[in-house]
Amino acid sequence: MKPLFVHAVGVAAPGLQGWAQARPVLAGAQPWLALAETPYAPPLLPPNERRRAPPGVRQAFRAAEDAKSACAADFSQLATVFASSDSDLTVMDRINSALAEPVRAVSPTDFHNSVHNTASGYWSIAVGCRQPGTAVGGHDGSFAMGLIEAAALVHGDGFGVLLVAFDVPPPPLLRPFRAMHCAGSIALVLGAEPGEGTLARVQLSLTDEAESTLSDAALEELRLGNPALRGLPLLKAIARGAPTRVVLPHASGCNVVLEVAPA
């Protein structure tokens, strides 16, 4: 397959608060610090949607808006891929709790926020985007699944693509059944051709090799703490700016290998 070009990056995770701050940390020029996470109200969302947006949507927007802030692309024209293992289990928790009561009073807002493409829908409203938008989920391989679909949209259908991977930790009842240690999201703006300010060139293929790990213990903990942050080795390679080969987890017996180089 032809290479993908990364035009912009967004990131939101503990101690990685936006690409501008995260880049030198991932490059090893600055230490990672356990900065406290702050609540986020996406400025791009209209007030009604902002009020209704559950934590997963806010987390997705945090990285997407970060990428958008540093990118000249017309986001209303980018196809989108939202990749998430669990979208938002706080919503499912409220629905399942309501269904376990005799009255079964499901909130209509919870129900429309329960679909896996909630963040995708809110995003299309926020930026007025009528291009194809999809939502995929691949458990711990969600980031790579999203990247594969984004690559297919770029090289199979000719779109510029915004990929957003996000997940937020489940509520207490579900924690024993779905381990996740932190909220995290990564956004990439991808295209078929390099342009001014392009950050990296990425050659994607499938492999049966094992996934890459991160040498820094704190960053490795983040990587394993959230499915979206399984994409951190790619961000580290982009931040370092030297040719690097990384393997991201996808499925049993099939991972994704990325040859990352400066554009």
Partner 1 sequence: MKALAISHYTVTTACGRGKAALLQALRSGRSGLRHGQFEAGAIDSWFGAVGGLVQPLPAQHAGWDCRINRLLAASLQQDGFSEAVAALRQRYGAARIGVFVGTSTSGVQQAEFAYRYRDRAGQRLPDWFDYRRSQSIHMPAEFARLLLGLSGSYMSISTACSSSAKVFAAAARAIRAGLCDAAVVGGVDSLCLTTLYGFNSLQLVSADICRPADARRNGISIGEAGGFAIIDPQWSADAPALLGYGESGDAHHMSTPDPEGRGALAAMQCALDSAGVAPAAVDYINLHGTATQANDLAEDRAVCALFGEAVPCSSTKGWSGHTLGAAGMVEAAIAMLCIEHGLIPQSLNTEQPDPQLHGAIVRQTHQARVERVLSNSFGFGGSNCSLLFGRRT
| 173 counts as binding partner 1 under rule CB under 8 A | yes
Contact range with partner 1 by CB under 8 A, out of 28-36, 62-70, 94-102, 181-189? 94-102
| Residues in 51-70 that interact with partner 1 by CB under 8 A | 52
Least Å from the CB of residue 64 to partner 1 = 14
d(CA 248, CA 263): 20
| DSSP per-residue string spanning 118-172 | HHHHHHHHHHT--S-EEEE--GGGHHHHHHHHHHHHHHHH---EEEEEEE-PPPG
Find the farthest-apart pair of alpha carbons in the chain and give their distance in angstroms, rounded: 60
Question: Within its chain, how far is the Cα of 36 from the centroid?
Answer: 20
Four-CA torsion 144, 36, 180, 173, nearest 10 degrees: -140
Other beta carbons less than 10 A from residue 81's beta carbon = 28
Residue 79 three-state SS? strand
| 100 counts as binding partner 1 under rule CB under 8 A | yes
d(CA 90, CA 253): 31
Which of 31, 43, 156, 243 binds partner 1 (CB under 8 A)? It is 156
Least Å from the CB of residue 60 to partner 1 = 13
| Residues in 244-263 that interact with partner 1 by CB under 8 A | 250-254, 256
| 45 counts as binding partner 1 under rule CB under 8 A | no
| 96 counts as binding partner 1 under rule CB under 8 A | yes
β-sheet bridge partners, residue 80: 133, 162
| Residues in 110-139 that interact with partner 1 by CB under 8 A | 110-118, 120-122, 124-125, 127-139
| 87 counts as binding partner 1 under rule CB under 8 A | yes
Of the pair 21, 134, the CB lying nearest partner 1 is at 134
| 203 counts as binding partner 1 under rule CB under 8 A | no
Residues in the chain, total: 263
Residue type, 245: R
β-sheet bridge partners, residue 254: 251
Of the pair 22, 163, the CB lying nearest partner 1 is at 163
Helix (H) or strand (E) holding 25: helix 19-26
Least Å from the CB of residue 164 to partner 1 = 14
Contact range with partner 1 by CB under 8 A, out of 14-22, 35-43, 83-91, 215-223? 83-91
Of the pair 98, 218, the CB lying nearest partner 1 is at 98
Which of 74, 157, 193, 209 binds partner 1 (CB under 8 A)? It is 157
